[in-house]
Homo-oligomer: A and B are copies of this chain.
Amino acid sequence: MTTDQPGPATWLAALAATLQGVELDVSAAGLEAHGHDESGQHHAWPEAVVYAQTEADIVAVLAFASRHRVPVTPYAVGSSLEGHVVPLHGGISLDVSRMTRILEIVPESGYAVVEPGVTYPELNRQARRHGLHFAVDPGAEASLGGMAATGASGTAAVRYGTMHDNVLTLRVALMNGEVIEVGSLARKSSAGYDLKNLFVGSEGTLGVFTRLAVRLHPLPSAVASVQVGFCSIQEATAASLLVLASGLHPERLELVDTESIRAVNRWRGTALPGGPTLWIELSGRDTADLEGGLKLARELLVESGGTLIGEARSEAERTELWAARHGAFYAIRAMYPGHHGRTTDLCVPIGRLAEAISGTLAILDRLKLDAPLLGHVGDGNFHVYLHADPSDAGRLAALDVASAEMVTLALSLGGTCSGEHGVGAGKRSYMRAQHGPALEVMRGVKTLFDPHGLLNPGKILPD
């Protein structure tokens, strides 16, 4: 990565001259807004924000950056959690949030073609009219371009997979001036190297997405959700494994711990019973099929020690039932106002989940940290929200220790430091331990696409 780019004074005027008609923002408010992400963990201002409206704008910015050796950090809505959009080395924040056209919805083939600034809730509003939905839901009003860049997933990955499974094609502007199209609109392809999946999860370090085609799935005919309380997290995870092995194929399978329930109750003014809680959503081809699935699910969950807390069938009821789970992250943050926070993102083979959670709780216990836990147990992925008063240096240091120990634990269980949030700036230090010599191969790939290290420098690869 190069960091010895010229000072902005030497290139800002040239940028303005090059990008005639493209909005350029150098106001303090604009730079500040592009200087952090939702996690608030990392802060750095760009020297300029460019609001791209078209692919040509993106190509022009990359050509300029290449010529003038200026770093470029793509930005859409800023909902990343590991500092992905923070321009750590300054330069240009390339904001694609105005590229919000849904170019095509093709119901008979089950896909949509969108610009990178389209958010997934907006796509779902449009897709629903065709009886379809886009299944990846990372929370926040995330953009599809950003979600593809981080390899995002969410609560429905247990059924529909992650962005790797749901992005069909990408148009990508490269630092060499080319725009390439990778992937296929067909459900599968064995024609050449899989560049699509190389770009999904590349966090804006290899190229900038100008357009993407994503899968749309038929909306299930009948859906119901069940909320079940358990006495221990171990019991809840064991119940999850039973559900997964049963052939029920849940739409979602989520876990929230006692501490998170407390946060939700405080935030929403509810009185949910405190204790580890599972949310399960099932679908069926019709009501009878759904009821059959629900019956089996209830049996399995009660056999596993669960207590039925709630059940929801209509969309309004389900939204209410899920509100606690979907709002948990915000509720948790609200419980610790002013605290520095960071979210872990361990993901382990599903059979090691109980160990990963026990080990995580042991680490928290030993370091005397309290940290709510929630996660996508159907994928073996869970988060704890580590937090500390910024004035408490000892506790802040303990967060680093906890974070590192948890990653070591996950790797020892065959897992990964990030199931869905990505590496960004926050998890770079774990890449060597996770990938070993494959890390040097990743560096080679980076250099192939971005020889001068100008695309989102300071992300994914450790120095």
Binding site for B on A (CB under 8 A): 106-111, 150-153, 157, 161-162, 164-165, 174, 178-182, 184-195, 197-198, 200-202, 206, 218, 220-221, 241, 245-249, 283-286, 288-289, 292-293, 296, 345, 347-352, 379-381, 414-423, 427, 430-431, 434-442, 444-446, 448-449, 460-461
Contact = CB atoms under 8 A, between A and B. Distances in A.
B247 A438 contact: no
A192 B434 contact: yes
Contact of A109 (B289, B351, B449): B351
Given A111-B349, A292-B292, A184 B415 contact: yes
20 contacts: A108-B350, A164-B188, A178-B440, A180-B437, A180-B438, A185-B415, A186-B416, A187-B379, A188-B347, A188-B420, A192-B423, A192-B442, A192-B461, A194-B197, A195-B445, A197-B198, A218-B247, A249-B249, A444-B448, A445-B445
Contacts of A449: 441
Nearest to A150: B190
Contacts of A286: 292, 296
A51 B423 CA distance: 40
Nearest to A185: B414
Nearest to A288: B292
Nearest to A445: B193
A184 B164 CA distance: 14
Contacts of A461: 192
A174 to B, nearest CB: 8
B351 A190 contact: no
B193 A381 contact: no
Contact of A190 (B206, B420, B439): B420
A351 B292 contact: no
Contacts of A419: 186, 188-190
Contact of A202 (B165, B193, B347): B193
Q: How many copies, total? A: 2
A225 B431 CA distance: 47
Contacts of A296: 285-286
The interface centre, meaning the residue of A185, A187, A421 with most chain B CB atoms within 10 A of its CB, is A187
Given A187-B380, A348-B186, A414-B186, A192 B108 contact: no
B197 A434 contact: no
Contact of A200 (B194, B284, B379, B418): B194
Contacts of A436: 180-181
Contacts of A246: 285
A162 B164 CA distance: 13
The interface centre, meaning the residue of A186, A201, A434 with most chain B CB atoms within 10 A of its CB, is A186
A187 B247 CA distance: 17
B293 A437 contact: no
Given A164-B194, A178-B440, A190-B421, 14 more contacts: A109-B380, A109-B414, A110-B350, A151-B189, A174-B441, A184-B416, A188-B416, A190-B201, A191-B431, A192-B201, A194-B198, A195-B198, A218-B245, A444-B448
